[in-house]
Amino acid sequence: MINLQNVSFSYNNEKVLSNISLHIDKGEFTAIIGSNGAGKSTLCRIMNGLLKPSSGTVTVNGMDTRTTKSSILARHIGFLFQNPDRQICKNTVGEEIRFSLDIAFTDKSMIEKRLFETLSLFDFDADSNPFHLSRGERQQVALASIIAAEPEILILDEPTTGLDYVECMKIMSIIKKLNDKGITVIMVCHDMEIVLDFAQRILVLAEGRLIADGETREIFKMEEILRQASLLPPQIARLAARFGFDDVFYVDEMTDIVLKRIKNRRKRTG
């Protein structure tokens, strides 16, 4: 699907990404984590062809991003920006979603079908003004207009920033459903709880270098790597580590261990 070979990127003579090689397969849910300025957003822009690598090659479904226009790559990759206001340009939610559909499809019946499906999925009123909605709702409108076009790959640049818990979970559950249907998801995220709950694979960036690439639980066990990237594992994992329990990342796992220990102690004390 997406293949990066020795990719480096410099901006104003400053190296933002250096020598990154990775491969992302169809259907993967990958999270990109790292501190601010680590190069996460740049890596995403490199993947969808908005930025061309200074050296190395990036291919998406076999297409070299250096020679393929971003607007052509957009048929394969949907990109959700952190700020939905940069994307929304129509006066109603229905028009906004239709705008994306008009670009992606030519068949009018298909456009109507996808419009209806998308509005239902997000429970939107087609006539509402997107500029009068809350930030979380505008983020949902932006996401809706992207997924309406049925991209094979979804790149999300901090999709949950500034959202409350309910809005965040609504967006993430929709993304999860899409991933379950086989859509590849690449997500930049600062919330380690969300990363742990949804991502299968993590790419850790620090100062433009890919310092770790692996399965989610394995990465969260690598304290030194997380320290290098100025990150902390989820709170429950840190609490478990203090009690000497390894490989505990969820409240349920922690509860099971604690209850088991209490039972054992009761048995021993009679």
Partner 1 sequence: MKGFFDYVPGSSYLHRLNPLTKLLLALMICIAAFISANHLFLVMLIVLNLGIGAQAGIFTRSVMLLKGLLKLCIIIFLLQVLFIRDGNVLVKLPLNIFITDGGISSAFMVVFRLVTATMPLALMLSITQINDLSNVLVTKLRIPYPYAFALTTAIRFIPVFANEMTGIIEAQTSRGVQLDTRNIFKKIKLVLPLCVPLLITSVRKIEGSAISAELRGFHLRTKNSCYKKYAVNINDICVIMISVVIVGSAILVNSIF
Write down the least CB distance from residue 27 to partner 1, Å. Answer: 21
Buried b or exposed e, range 177-196, using 16+ CB within 10 angstroms = ebbeeebbbbbbbebbebbb
The least CB distance from residue 19 to partner 1, in Å, is 25
Q: Give the one residue of 71, 106, 109, 120 binding partner 1; rule: CB under 8 A.
A: 71
Number of H helices, E strands in the chain: 11, 10
Least distance to partner 1, CB of residue 143, Å: 12
Q: How many CB atoms lie within 10 A of CB 258?
A: 14
Determine which residue in the list 54, 61, 83, 92 makes contact with partner 1, applying CB under 8 A.
83
Q: How far is the CB of 82 from partner 1 (least distance, A)?
A: 10
- With residues binned 3-state (H G I as helix, E B as strand, rest as coil), the percentages for the chain, rounded to 5, are 45, 25, 35
Closer Cβ to partner 1, 156 or 240, answer by number: 156
Tell me if 97 sits within 8 A of 128, measured CB to CB: no
Cβ-in-10-Å burial (0-12, 13-18, 19+) of 49 comes to buried
Q: Is 79 in the site for partner 1 (CB under 8 A)?
A: yes
The correct pick among 19, 35, 70, 92 for binding partner 1 (CB under 8 A) is 70
What part of residues 85-104 is at the interface with partner 1 (CB under 8 A)? Answer: 85-91, 99-100, 103-104
Type of residue found at 24: I
Stretch that binds partner 1, among 54-62, 70-78, 116-124, 176-184 (CB under 8 A): 70-78
Q: Which of 11, 25, 116, 131 binds partner 1 (CB under 8 A)?
A: 131
Nearest CB to partner 1, comparing residues 133 and 192: 133
Is 45 a binding residue for partner 1 by CB under 8 A? The answer is: yes
Site for partner 1 in 169-228 (CB under 8 A): none
Told to check if 29 binds partner 1 by CB under 8 A, we report no
Helix/strand/coil for 80: strand
Q: Is 149 in the site for partner 1 (CB under 8 A)?
A: yes
Q: Which has the closest alpha carbon to 196: 221, 171, 178, 174?
A: 221
In this chain, which stretch among 44-52, 114-122, 200-208, 251-259 interacts with partner 1, using CB under 8 A? Answer: 44-52
Cα angle 142-47-219, degrees, rounded to a multiple of 5: 95
Number of residues that bind partner 1 (CB under 8 A): 28
CB atoms closer than 10 angstroms to residue 138: 20
- Distance CA(12)–CA(17), nearest Å, equals 13
Beta-ladder partners of 9: 17
- Binding interface with partner 1 (CB under 8 A): 45, 48, 50, 69-71, 74-75, 77-79, 81, 83, 85-91, 99-100, 103-104, 131, 145-146, 149
